[in-house]
Structure 1
Amino acid sequence: MKKILILFIGISFLSFTDHKYYIALTEIEHNPTNNSVEMIMNVFVDDIEKAINTDYDTDLQLNTKKEHQNTNSYLTKYLKNHFKISINEKQVEYNFIGKEYDGNIVYFYLEIENINEVKSIEVKNDVLVQYFSDQQNLIKAKVNGDRKSLFLTKKNDKGLLKF
């Protein structure tokens, strides 16, 4: 019995190490002091690199000494094509503030300026779904202390949050 239990646990560990999760998190928060909406998106470095390298026929080599000198331009272009935001039923443009690496995760910092009040946030997010059918994009938003979330997938890549 003890050998069977050890074997079962060992097989379970092996199955988890081979499995890869495809999930990205975007946190959105209205900052009334700055009249802006601030966003932080995190994705796996290798996943975003694969998508951009394939879409734009380039070799970014993210988070290495050989990283492409125009990486931020490629990232901005990719995000603008695959991550769209509407505030109060009006599509808005966001600024790419920068990126930061933490191990195998890259964080994108984005900002929408001149937003005094937020009544609704509509998000269309199909980041990485073209390359990873299991990709899931979790959206968490906070407006005036009120927290809401969306869970977006390849089949359902758009959602509305009302505050």
Structure 2
Amino acid sequence: MKKTILSLLSVFILFTSFTIAHKFYVSVTNINYSEKTDALQITSRIFIDDLEALLQERYEITAGLGTKEESELADTYIEKYLKAKFVLELNEEGVSYDYIGKKYDNDVVIFYLELPNVGFEGLKSIGIQNDVLSDLYEEQKNLVHIKWKGKKKSFVLIRENNKGMLNL
């Protein structure tokens, strides 16, 4: 018994001594339906450094997000990227949403998006395709939470499985 415990302890020490900090690649998106405004209100959280790396790689701009030197082009390219990589469907038809803006919270950028005039009558499904950052990071996971009139559904979307749907 002592030998087994000693062996397990040795293996544990060996593995933990060579452990390096692993970076997680994740975004979190919340989609809520507002009955008051008949709109889908969307917030999405992404790590600033991951987004900056993406803007540099894809558009060759140094964004300087959250600094006094933030590029004037940052919002233009962020909106362009989000519209290409974050797709909404109502009743299996693509819809266009509005990019409202962004704010910073420590090392995270929070995006505000809105789809006005949803029209609850006749709505049967809400579909999401989220490829945000998965073109740059293979390990990227995009968590999506949808809340609609008491129904809640969550998805973990990855490069190989980038779509989710809430049937109403």
Rg (Cα) greater in structure:
2
Distance 2:13 2:37 in 1: 52
Hey, what does 1:97 align to over in structure 2? 100
- Distance in 2 of aligned mates of 1:9 and 1:39: 44
Q: Give 1:8 deviation, angstroms.
A: 5.0
Alignment counterpart, residue 164 of structure 2, candidates 138, 156, 159 = 159
Counterpart of 2:129 in structure 1 is: 124
CA deviation map 1:53-83 (0-9, x unaligned): 2111111011111100121111100101111
- Are the counterparts in 2 of residues 88 and 119 from structure 1 also a CA contact under 8 Å? yes
Q: Secondary structure at the match of 1:80?
A: helix
Render the CA deviation track for 1:64-120: whole Å, top value 9, x for unaligned.
Answer: 111001211111001011111001222111111110111111100000011121431
Which residue is equivalent to 1:143? 148
Cα deviation code 1:24-70 (max 9, x no counterpart): 11100111110110000001101111111211111101111110012
Give distance in 2, aligned partners of 1:102 and 1:111: 20
- 1:118-143 CA-to-partner distances (Å, cap 9, x unmatched) read 43111111111111110001110000
**AA in 1 matched with 2:56:** N
Equivalent residues in 2 for 1:77-96, closer than 5 Å? 77-96=80-99
Q: 1:40 to 1:8 in 2, by over 3 A?
A: same
Aligned to 2:37: 34
Q: TM-score, normalised by structure 2?
A: 0.87
Counterpart in the other structure of 2:61: 58
CA distance in 2, matches of 1:12, 1:148: 36
Unaligned runs of 5+ in 2: none
2:78 is the counterpart of 1:71: no
Cα RMSD (Å) of the superposition?
2.1
Paired with 1:9 and 1:37, the residues of 2 have a C-alpha distance of: 50
Q: Given residue 79 of structure 2, which amino acid in structure 1 is its aligned partner?
A: T
**Alignment gaps of 5+ in structure 1:** none
Show the counterpart of 2:51: 48
User: How many Å separate the matches in 1 of 2:17 and 2:167?
Assistant: 41
Is residue 61–residue 68 contact of structure 1 (8 Å, CA) maintained in 2? yes
The alignment's TM-score, normalised by the length of structure 1, stands at 0.89
Q: Is contact 1:136–1:152 with CA below 8 Å preserved after alignment?
A: yes
Amino acid at match of 1:140: H
